[in-house]
Amino acid sequence: MDDRLNFISRMGRPRILVLGDLILDRYTWGDAERVSPEAPVLVLRADAQEVRPGGAASVALLARGLDAQVSIAGVLGDDAAGEVVNELLDEAGIKRELVLDDPNRPTTVKQRFIGRAASRHPHQILRVDREQREPLDPELEKRLSESIVACLDRHQAVLVSDYNKGVCTPGLLATLIEAATAAGVPIIVDPARVADYTRYRGATILTPNRTEAELATGRKIPTPEAALDAAEQLRGECRAAAVLVTLDSQGMALVHKDQPAELASTKARSVYDITGAGDMVLATIGLCLASGIPLSQAVCLANLAAGLEVERLGVAPVSRGQIQAELTHTEHSGADKLVSVERMALLADSYRRSGKTIVLTNGCFDLLHVGHAAYLAEAATLGDLLVVAVNSDASVRRAKGPDRPVIGQHDRAALLAALSSVDHVLIFDADTPHELLRQIRPDVLVKGGTYTREEVVGREVVEAYGGKVCVTGKVEGASTSRILSSARAALPP
C-alpha cells in the first residue's frame, strides 16, 4: 500500500486557525461562442452566477473540505459583499468569531467571467477586482491581534494567507509569530507577492510560488534545482524551519533546516484553472502538520491535492476520499480500470468537478462480440469518460437462467477493461442499475441499439437529476444468444 494512504488514515480533525485577507469570489458563467460586432471581444451569453469564499476564506474552506475544525481571523467591509462572505463561512461550518468589520474599507471582491466554447470546457475570460490595499487602522490591528493571541493555544496550527490587501501587517504578524512560537504552534505562511519577506521572519514554513520566490530573492528560477537555491536563501533570511517553493507542472522544491533538500515531481494534468492551487497546498500542509505527519509526507500529499485542485474551476474543496481515490487509481491501464461502485462514485465526483462528462452503460456482456465493441466505441464519443457496469454472475443467472453466464464476471470485466474505448469497469450484483446510478450520477446513460429509449432501465433515475439517456446504433446479426445458438447447433448430436 502507498505510504501516503497510511498517513491519510492517520489524520484526525485538528483545530486550525486561518488568518489573512478575506475575499468574495463572484463567478458569471455563460456561452462564449461569437465575437462582438462592436469590438474584437468575446460576447458572453450569461446563464448562471455563483459566489464562493476567496483569499484566506478559500483556505479555510479547503481545510474544512479536508475535515479540519477551522476558525478564521480577518477583516471584512461593512457591506453586502461582507455579509455574503459571512454567510458562506457559516454554511461551511467555519468559526468566524475573529472576523472584524471595518466600515472604512470595502470587502475585496474578484468578479470572474467564465465562458464555455461549444457549451463545454469552461475557461476564465476576464476578471474584475474591487479592493483596497491600505494597512489596517492601528486600533483595528490591535483588536485583531489581541483576539488571535488570546485563543492561540486552542489551535494546533496557524495558516497565514497574505494577499497583500492590508490585513497581514508587519506588526500583527510579528506578534502572531512570537506568540505561536512560544506556544509551540506551527505557523505556515503563503506569502504575498512582495519583495520584502521581513514580515514573515520566524515563521515555521513559507510556501511561495515560483513568481513570488523570484521577486523575494531577486533571482530567476527556471528549474527545480534553482528553486532549491532560492528556497535555501529565503529560509536563511527569514529564519524559517523550512521553505517550500511550488513550481506548477515542475512540482515542488523543499528545503528543511538540518535535513536534505527534496524535489517532488507532479503528475501531468489537464489544467482548467490554477485558482486555489496555492491555497490547497497551504491547507494540506497545515492539516498534516497539525496531525503530526512529517513534513516530507505532508509535501507529497499537498502536491497531489494541488494537482486535483487545478483540474477544477475556481476554488473547490478536495476531500480526503478523493485524494485516496487518486492514490489508488492509475488511469487507462488494464486491471487498474477495475473499480468498486464506491470508488467509482468518488472518481465520478472528481471528474465532475473538473468539468468532464461521464458516460455509463451497463449489461451482462457475456461473450463479448462485435456488436458490443461497436456500441461501446460509439458510447465513448458521447462524453469524456466511459464507465461500464457489468452484471455479476448471480444477477445474470437470475435474469437469464442457470446456464448463463458462459464467462465469469471477472473475466468479462477484464475483457471490457482491455478495450481502449472503456475507462472504468465495475461489477454490480443488483437486478437493476438504479442504486449505482444514484451513487455515480453519470451525465449520460447509454444502451445498445436493441433497446428503445423508453425501455432503458434506470432512465427515470438519470433524467430526474438532469442527465441524458441515449441509444446507440445496432450491428445487425450480432448477439450473444445467436452466437450460443450457432455454437450449440455445430456440436455433434
Among all residues, which ones are annotated catalytic?
279
Burial of 36 (0-12, 13-18, 19+ CB in 10 A): exposed
Q: By the 8 A CB rule, do 305 and 319 touch? A: no
Grid coordinates representing 40 are 474584437
Residue with cell 492509475: 330
CA distance 119 to 255: 44
Q: Which of helix, strand or coil describes residue 186?
A: coil
Place of cell 493571541: 149
Taking the C-alpha atoms of residue 12 and residue 69, their distance in angstroms, rounded to an integer, is 10
**388: enclosing H helix or E strand:** strand 385-391
CB 391 within 8 A of CB 477: no
Looking at the DSSP assignment, which residues form a beta bridge with residue 95? 71
- Beta-bridged to residue 51, according to DSSP, are 26
Q: Which of 460, 248, 445 minimizes the C-alpha distance to 348?
A: 445
Angle at which helices 138-151 and 170-183 cross, to 10°: 10
**In 56-146, where do the E strands start and end?**
69-77, 95-102, 108-117, 120-130
For residue 315, give the nearest of 100, 128, 50 by alpha carbon.
50
Q: Rounded to whole angstroms, what are the CA distances from 400 to 38, 99, 483?
A: 65, 64, 15
Please report, as a single letter, which amino acid is at residue 456: V
Percentages helix, strand, coil for the chain (3-state, rounded to 5) are: 40, 25, 35
Q: Which residue is listed with cell 427515470?
A: 460
DSSP 243: E
